Amino acid sequence: MRSSPGSWAVVAGSSEGLGAAFARALASHGFNLILLARRPQPLEALAAELREARSIETRAVPCDLGSPDMGQRLCEAMSGIEVELGVYNAAYSFVGPLLDKPLEEALRVVDVNIRGPLQFVHAVAPGMVARGHGGLVLMSSIAGLQGAPHLAAYAASKAFNIVLGESLWAELKPKGVDVVVSCAGAIRTPGYLKTATKDAPGTLDPQQVAEQTLAALGKGPRVIPGGTNKLAAFLLTRMLTRRGAISMMGSSTTALQAPSA
């Protein structure tokens, strides 16, 4: 990951938590930033903080990444800018058995976690390919490595992102664009802290995940931040049977609690 003077990055889902950590890490490397999230107030506060602290340019663009016109909104936000690096971080999830929730909840997962990254890639990557360089980060989860009871739609969407990211890694590498998909374990973000009663083994701070993920760009299709999470992923994908892996993941995911309204 390199920035030259005037380089721009875009972080989708950056008003708090891991997305804000990506923005801070990229600003510290000198990138100007387009920041996307729904809530204007924290987004604009972060943009102002980074403009001041890092002497960079910022564009804060409040938007819903699950909306069908998100790609068009992003293209308008990138007008006159050559984006060098794109991070799709936003996600929607709900906790509990799939059939206990209305179908609309699962379709919202599809909109934000599947349609969103596809629209994002279509908006951001063609310019990188045309220029022959750039980088893309897709956020996934070790929950996407196998079935995850009580997180069924979310885990399935994260499996989609793993395969999407790995496929794009192979397609775009010969065109000079690096892609990495980050399969994170638990991260102390505001969203995670609403559902977890205590730290899961291997829980990391957002800054650690952002830094390890960005450092992995150009080194391979997939990164698993944190030693404990690498070990867990090895167990889940190489050592255990599929039933065993679903059971091990389920011991964590069924302990999550739906956030109180």
Tell me how far, at minimum, the Cβ of 248 lies from ligand NAP, in Å: 16
139 binds ligand NAP (CB under 6 A): yes
- Told to check if 15 binds ligand NAP by CB under 6 A, we report yes
Residue nearest to ligand NAP (CB): 17
Residue 211: both structure tokens together: 């830094």
Q: Are 65 and 13 in contact (CB under 8 A)?
A: yes
Q: Which is nearer to ligand NAP, 32 or 189 (CB)?
A: 189
Alpha carbons 201 and 45: distance in angstroms, whole number: 32
Which residue is associated with the tokens 């739906």?
258
* Minimum CB distance to ligand NAP smaller for 32 or for 140: 140
Name the packing angle between helices 152-172 and 116-131 (round to 10°): 10
Q: Does 66 bind ligand NAP (CB under 6 A)?
A: yes
The single-letter DSSP state of residue 114 is I
- Interacting residues of 165 by C-beta distance below 8 A, sequence separation 6+: 136, 138, 140, 179, 180, 181, 221, 222
Task: Write out the binding residues for ligand NAP, residues 212-251 only, by CB under 6 A.
Answer: none
Which distant-in-sequence residues (6+ apart) come within 8 Å of 40 by Cβ? 60, 62
Residue 15 beta carbon to ligand NAP: minimum distance, rounded to whole angstroms: 4
16 binds ligand NAP (CB under 6 A): yes
**Spatial CB neighbours of 205, under 8 Å, sequence gap ≥ 6:** 21, 187, 188
* Least Cβ distance, residue 218 to ligand NAP (angstroms): 21
The verdict on 120 binding ligand NAP (CB under 6 A) reads no
Of 8, 31, 92, 94, which lies in the binding site for ligand NAP, with binding defined by CB under 6 A? 92
> 211: buried, middle or exposed (CB in 10 Å: 19+, 13-18, 0-12)?
middle
Residue 130 vs 251, nearer CB to ligand NAP: 251
Taking CB under 6 A as the rule, does residue 13 contact ligand NAP? yes
The DSSP letter of residue 93 is -
**How many residues are listed for the chain in this entry?**
261
Instruction: Name the segment binding ligand NAP (CB under 6 A); options: 85-93, 215-223, 226-234, 244-252.
Output: 85-93
Q: Residue 197 or 241: which CB sits closer to ligand NAP?
A: 197
154 given a catalytic annotation: yes
Name the residue type at position 232.
Answer: A
Binding site for ligand NAP (CB under 6 A): 13-19, 36-39, 64-66, 89-92, 112, 139, 141, 184, 186-187, 189-192
